[in-house]
């Protein structure tokens, strides 16, 4: 599932006439960067939630022929990350799913990040598996880091610490049956992660990548320059 229903307020004025998902970076819409990575990883069907400029985004995505795309309609009300997954549950099937933010772009170092995430997912040991990157290998991320990781991959959130070494890259993998117990209505996924972490069931994989969080126009320009320098 690609989470594309946000209003993109921090990206204004670039989102005055389009959804954040259609803001271009390196000559390609943000959502196409994400979907391209998913296709490379072997994904053949994606659910995309829509809200702002929903018709425009749906028309754009219907032009893709390399995967099946289903839409979760949030035109009436934004559901946030947890509520969006809950609302789309009937479209997600029963096999483990990847969930991706629309503002996450990265360049690979060694092994493909999504392939590593898929290979590492083990529902016997974890409820959710997050893709992470060292803070120093991020661009456009101005936070103090999100997580600490143990040798077995279990995650602990930064909490009251000044800094943590790893940033969440905006992609995670979970068994969709986990979502069945979540409440309906608008809510974020973060409280679910914290409950998983308390049980030792929140894990992470550190990607060999440079991650670009494209959250505002300045970050978009920085990502543009980074991608241009590699071309």
DSSP the chain: -EE-----GGGTTTTSSS-GGG-EETTEEHHHHHHHHHHHTT--EEEEEEBTBHHHHHHHHTT--SSEEEEEE-SS---HHHHHHHHTGGGS-SS-EEEEETTEEEEE-SS-HHHHHHHH--TTT-SEEEEEEEGGGEES--SS--EEE-TTSBEEE-TTSS--SEEEEEEEEE-GGGGGGSPSSS--SHHHHHHHHHTT-EEEEE-SEEEEE--SHHHHHHHHHHHHHH-
Which residue is associated with the tokens 């894990």? 203
- pLDDT on residue 109: 86
Stretches where the chain sits below pLDDT 50 are none
The confidence score (pLDDT) of residue 229 equals 85
Cis amide leading into 13 (omega within 30): yes
> Quick check: 146 and 164 in contact, CB under 8 A?
yes
Asked if 5 and 74 count as a contact pair (C-beta separation under 8 A), the reply is yes
Residue 143: predicted pLDDT: 87
- Dump pLDDT digits (tens) for 105-151: 999 988 899 999 999 999 999 999 999 999 999 999 988 999 999 99
pLDDT of residue 230: 75
Tokens 């290979």 correspond to what residue? Answer: 119
At 132 the pLDDT is 98
At 231 the pLDDT is: 57
Instruction: Mention every residue, 6+ apart, whose C-beta is less than 8 A from residue 11.
Output: 20, 23, 215, 216, 217, 220
What's this model's pTM, rounded to 2 decimal places?
A: 0.94
Distance separating alpha carbons of residues 152 and 164, to the nearest angstrom: 17
Position 56 scores a pLDDT of: 97
From the list 103, 102, 130, 137, the residue with the least C-alpha distance to 114 is 130
The domain defined by 2-230 carries CATH number 3.10.105.10: no
């Amino acid at each position: 599932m690609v989470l594309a229903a946000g209003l993109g307020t921090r990206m204004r004025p670039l989102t005055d006439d389009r959804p954040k998902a259609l803001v271009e970076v390196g000559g390609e819409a943000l959502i196409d960067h994400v979907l391209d990575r998913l296709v490379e990883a072997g994904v053949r069907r994606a659910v995309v939630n829509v809200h702002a400029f929903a018709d425009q985004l749906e028309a754009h995505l219907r032009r893709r022929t390399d995967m099946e795309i289903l839409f979760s309609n949030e035109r009436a009300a934004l559901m946030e990350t947890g509520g969006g997954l809950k609302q789309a549950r009937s479209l997600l099937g029963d096999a483990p799913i990847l969930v991706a933010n629309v503002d996450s772009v990265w360049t690979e170092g060694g092994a493909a990040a999504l392939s590593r995430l898929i290979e590492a997912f083990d529902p016997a040991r974890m409820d959710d598996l997050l893709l992470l990157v060292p803070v120093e290998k991020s661009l456009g991320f101005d936070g103090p880091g999100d997580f600490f990781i143990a040798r077995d991959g279990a995650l602990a959130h930064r909490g009251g610490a000044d800094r943590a070494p790893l940033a969440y890259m905006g992609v995670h993998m979970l068994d969709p049956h986990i979502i069945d117990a979540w409440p309906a209505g608008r809510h974020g996924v973060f409280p679910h992660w914290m409950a998983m972490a308390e049980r030792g069931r929140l894990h992470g994989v550190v990607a060999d990548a440079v991650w670009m969080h494209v959250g505002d126009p300045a970050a978009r320009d920085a990502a543009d320059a980074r991608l241009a320098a590699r071309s």
